[in-house]
Structure 1
Amino acid sequence: MEPASVERLRVLFQSDDYIVVDKHWDIRIDSKMWYEKNTVQAQLRHRFPHLADPNTYYGFRFCHQLDFSTSGALCVALNKAAAGLAYRCFKERTVTKAYLALVCTQ
């Protein structure tokens, strides 16, 4: 698997309210550190600069988190109403999450 880069962002789903991206396994979602240039936040700004919201701290409303070492679908809300709905779904546990571990042995 190739390393993550700002240019590499795979979109799994996009609507007026949400973007779902395929988060690479070795990339942070966001960062306040100036030296942390390779983040999902940076990928989104690079690919969708017109969708960044200056009224949010990171420019995008991440609906949930995935650990640095975890790859998978990451949902990003594109407006306040969509973010509120997603937040409620995660809080009330009406979202179904599935994890798959790929193990290779010799």
Structure 2
Amino acid sequence: MSSDPASIESLHVLYQSDDYIIVDKHWDIRIDSKMWYEKQTVQMQLQHHFPLLADPSTYYGFRFCHQLDFSTSGALCVALNKAAAGRAYRCFKDRTVTKAYLALVWNKNTST
């Protein structure tokens, strides 16, 4: 996990196929936004790195299969077509997918 702020360039792809891109969402970036003052989002990172995969028929250009909070980092699944989005939706709806959260805690006062 990086302590550096998110940037358009800092998109880290964990997995990519014809149907999905799984990215490691940075801890200080929104997934999407249509607000003019939002300068950096995962949506904008994806459009920068994969302009040919954006789908103009969707509101944000990409089909986000689930959400992560602004301050939460982790794997974020993006469907690249309608059929893949439907399959992912059913997995979340039917609870056949498991989301797990891990907290890394350290004490800055220790010498190790």
What TM-score bracket applies, with the shorter chain setting the length? over 0.9
Match of 1:32 in 2: 34
Query: Paired residue for 1:81, among 76, 80, 83?
Result: 83
Residue of structure 2 in register with 1:23 after alignment: 25
Distance 2:37 2:56 in 1: 21
Residue number in structure 2 paired with 1:95: 97
| C-alpha deviation, 1:66, in angstroms | 0.2
The CA RMSD measured in Å over matched residues stands at 0.6
> Which protein shows a greater Rg?
2
Once residues 78 and 94 of structure 1 are traced to their aligned partners in structure 2, the CA distance between those partners, rounded to angstroms, is: 20
Q: Which runs of 4+ in 1 moved over 4 A?
A: none
Residue 100 of structure 1 and its aligned partner are, at CA, apart by: 0.2
Q: Distance in 1 between matches of 2:15 and 2:100?
A: 17
Fraction of identical pairs, as percent: 83
Show the counterpart of 1:60. 62
| TM-score, normalising length: structure 1 | 0.98
Residues 35-89 of structure 1 show CA distances to partners (whole Å, capped at 9, x for unaligned) of 1020000000000000000000000000000000000000000000000000000
Find the aligned partners of 1:14 and 1:90 in 2 and give their Cα distance. Answer: 20
| CA-CA distance at 1:104 after TM superposition | 1.4
Question: What is the number of equivalent residue pairs in this alignment?
Answer: 106
Ranges in structure 1 where 5+ consecutive residues have no aligned partner: none
Counterpart residue identity of residue 76, structure 2: L
Alignment partner, residue 6 of structure 1: 8
The 1-side partners of 2:76 and 2:22 are apart by 5
Q: Deviations over 1:79-102 (max 9, x none)?
A: 000000000000110001111001
Query: What TM-score, normalized to structure 2?
Result: 0.93
